[in-house]
């Protein structure tokens, strides 16, 4: 049962270099008896089992962060880049669907998406290609846990500019004003979080960098501000908060510039046939199912608002090992996850 997992992890595939792993997975799915296997226009690996009109999508990501780790199995534990994040979940999807096989009226689609660790180009493409009845997203959350929410994220450059002034003038510099701007943002965030005990409901603020400079006529200072967003604060609201919190004066000019792709948070419905099928599947393997809400983002945030179907996130592995030089997953946990998925899918379509 570990052949898919070990083989996939052995294909080093940091974002932008996924082609070899994609080709390997397509060939593996064909060998496992999938009805159709192909590489789509975004470069995703796709395997289709069944021809029915009701569709279940299992979307994992095949790319990893950079940093190759020698692949080895030691005392039942597989070490290698992507063993947890997130080739472990993707391999469990691949094996589980092969075990379930063709079911009348249903179609299972397993997708190994590219670019999740950058801008989720694979998931963005897939979101427009399918209309599933149920969606399962692959991320490591341990075999006996189901994730029902991932926070959003938004990044911004906050730039303060002012005319040059003599150093003896006593006037605030652009760099000093940037520090004050950061403290104002912190005050707002601390007040917002004060009555929220759960991290999933909080604004999680980070200062990712700062720089300053000047020329003959102007000073400037720039803050690189990141935030993990709760469901109640969409990215556009966060940018409005920044603009309203950082007052513009005649002397100091403050510009808030969104950077990259902003992603809203997403929380899944708990009382759905999909969730109930997974709770049953976990119990069938002797586990006590638990729910978790994550402070990171995932491809769930990309596809769930488009598909608008019952969804959840599942996969073996410990997310604390994501991106670390000691990334690994237990082969026994992989086996349990495959069995949970098989049981859950069979119950879901029964």
pLDDT per residue as tens digits for the range 16-73: 999 999 999 999 999 999 999 999 999 999 999 999 999 999 999 999 999 999 999 9
Asked whether residue 169 carries a pLDDT value surpassing 90, the answer given is no
CA distance 70 to 284: 34
Collapsing DSSP to helix, strand or coil, 132 comes out as coil
Name the strands in the sheet holding 218-229, side by side, starting at the edge strand that comes first in the sequence.
204-214, 218-229, 152-163, 253-263
Catalytic residue among 116, 139, 339, 346: 116
Sign of CA dihedral 111, 132, 89, 202: positive
Q: Please say if the pLDDT value at position 134 is more than 80.
A: yes
281 plus 294 within the same structural domain: yes
Residues 296, 221 within the same domain: no
Residue 163 scores a pLDDT above 90: no
Nearest-angstrom CA–CA distance, 350 and 176: 64
Residue 63 among the catalytic residues: yes
Give me the pLDDT at residue 15, please.
98
Largest CA distance in the chain: 81
C-beta separation of 38 from 109 below 8 A: no
Same domain, 221 and 337: no
**Candidate list 63, 139, 201, 339, residue with the active-site label:** 63
Domain count of the fold of the chain = 2
Residues 338 and 257 in one domain: no
Q: Which domain covers residue 251, as residue numbers?
A: 152-263
**Residue 116 known to be catalytic:** yes
Predicted confidence band at 247 (pLDDT cuts at 50, 70, 90)? confident
For residues 265 and 153, what is the distance between their CA atoms, to the nearest angstrom?
7
Q: Any bridge partners for residue 258, and if so which?
A: 156
Domain end (from 263, 282, 300):
263
Indicate if 134 and 55 belong to the same structural domain.
yes
Rounded Cα–Cα distance for residues 315 and 58 (Å): 11
Among the candidates 263, 290, 323, a domain finishes at 263
Last residue of a domain, one of 263, 289, 320: 263
Cα torsion angle, 1, 298, 62, 74, sign: negative
- Structure tokens given for 42: 């975004």
Considering the domain architecture, whether residues 66 and 102 belong to the same structural domain is answered as: yes
Tell me the pLDDT of the chain averaged across its residues: 96
List 282's β-bridge partners, or say none: none
Q: Are residues 225 and 92 in the same domain?
A: no
Torsion angle in degrees (nearest 10) through CA of 289, 293, 296, 301: 100
**Tens of pLDDT, residues 102-115:** 999 999 999 999 99
Which pLDDT does position 165 carry in this prediction?
76
């Amino acid at each position: 049962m570990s052949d898919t997992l070990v083989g996939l992890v052995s294909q080093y595939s940091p974002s932008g270099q996924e082609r070899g792993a994609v080709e390997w997975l397509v060939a593996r799915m064909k060998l496992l008896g999938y009805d159709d296997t192909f590489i789509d226009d975004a470069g995703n690996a796709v395997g289709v089992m069944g021809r029915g009109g009701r569709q279940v999508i299992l979307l994992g990501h095949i790319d990893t962060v950079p940093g190759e780790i020698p692949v080895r199995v030691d005392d039942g534990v597989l070490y290698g880049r992507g063993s947890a994040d997130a080739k472990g979940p993707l391999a469990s999807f691949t094996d589980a669907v092969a075990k379930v096989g063709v079911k009348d009226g249903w179609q299972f689609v397993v997708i190994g998406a590219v670019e999740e660790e950058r801008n989720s180009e694979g998931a963005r493409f897939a979101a427009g290609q399918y209309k599933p009845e149920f969606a399962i997203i692959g991320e490591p959350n341990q075999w006996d846990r189901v994730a029902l929410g991932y926070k959003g994220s938004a990044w911004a450059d906050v730039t303060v500019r002012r005319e040059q002034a003599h150093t003896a003038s006593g006037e605030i510099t652009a760099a000093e004003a940037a520090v004050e701007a950061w403290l104002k943002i912190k005050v707002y965030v601390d007040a917002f979080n004060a009555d929220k005990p759960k991290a999933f409901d909080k604004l999680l603020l980070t200062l990712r960098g700062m720089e300053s400079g000047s020329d003959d006529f102007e000073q400037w200072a720039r803050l690189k501000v990141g935030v993990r967003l709760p469901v109640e604060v969409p990215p556009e609201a966060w940018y409005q908060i920044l603009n309203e919190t950082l007052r513009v004066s005649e002397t100091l000019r403050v510009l808030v510039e969104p950077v990259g792709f902003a992603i809203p948070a997403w929380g899944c419905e708990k009382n759905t046939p999909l969730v109930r099928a997974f709770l049953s599947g976990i119990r069938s393997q002797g586990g006590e199912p638990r729910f978790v809400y994550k402070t990171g983002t995932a491809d769930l945030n990309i596809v769930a608002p488009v598909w608008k179907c019952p969804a959840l996130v599942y996969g073996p592995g410990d997310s604390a090992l994501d991106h670390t030089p000691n990334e690994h997953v237990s082969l026994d946990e992989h086996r349990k996850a495959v069995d949970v998925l098989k049981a859950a899918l069979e119950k879901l379509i029964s």
